[in-house]
Structure 1
């Protein structure tokens, strides 16, 4: 999940996980793959950690937050 309304449009998420995160017409983060394969988990966590506004939350298949 990404909270676009709080995005700073730094692009770190798109650089870390380009098949999971994109941008909308205003340049804000947009999730393009809400259920990425498990082999992308490291990239998704890197994207979350690189976000200067901390607007990306990552959950497992059961809905538990991966802190």
Structure 2
């Protein structure tokens, strides 16, 4: 799994960080998503998918092999 975060679409809601702080963070100045890891371990895949679904701006995309 590869995670892609579109900073242009992000509205800074923080839903991704609430779901997966191991994978996502937010910039201090504007709250835009910061991707901490593009390739989370298999044990995180389901939670990362839920984070992508929870994003109100659809700024998080999952690329499956």
TM-score w.r.t. the length of structure 1 is 0.83
2:47 alignment partner, SS class: helix
Post-superposition offset of 1:27: 1.2
Please name the residue that 1:57 is paired with: 61
User: Within the alignment, does 1:46 sit opposite 2:50 as a pair?
Assistant: yes
TM-score w.r.t. the length of structure 2 is 0.85
Provide the alpha-carbon RMSD of the alignment: 1.0
- Gapped runs of 5+ residues in structure 2? none
Matches within 5 A, 1:31-42: 31-42=35-46
What is the count of residue pairs matched by the alignment? 61
* More relative contact order, 1 or 2 (CA 8 Å, 6+ apart): 2
Would you say the 8 A contact 2:17–2:25 is kept in 1? yes
Find the aligned partners of 1:28 and 1:50 in 2 and give their Cα distance.
15
**Larger strand percent:** 2
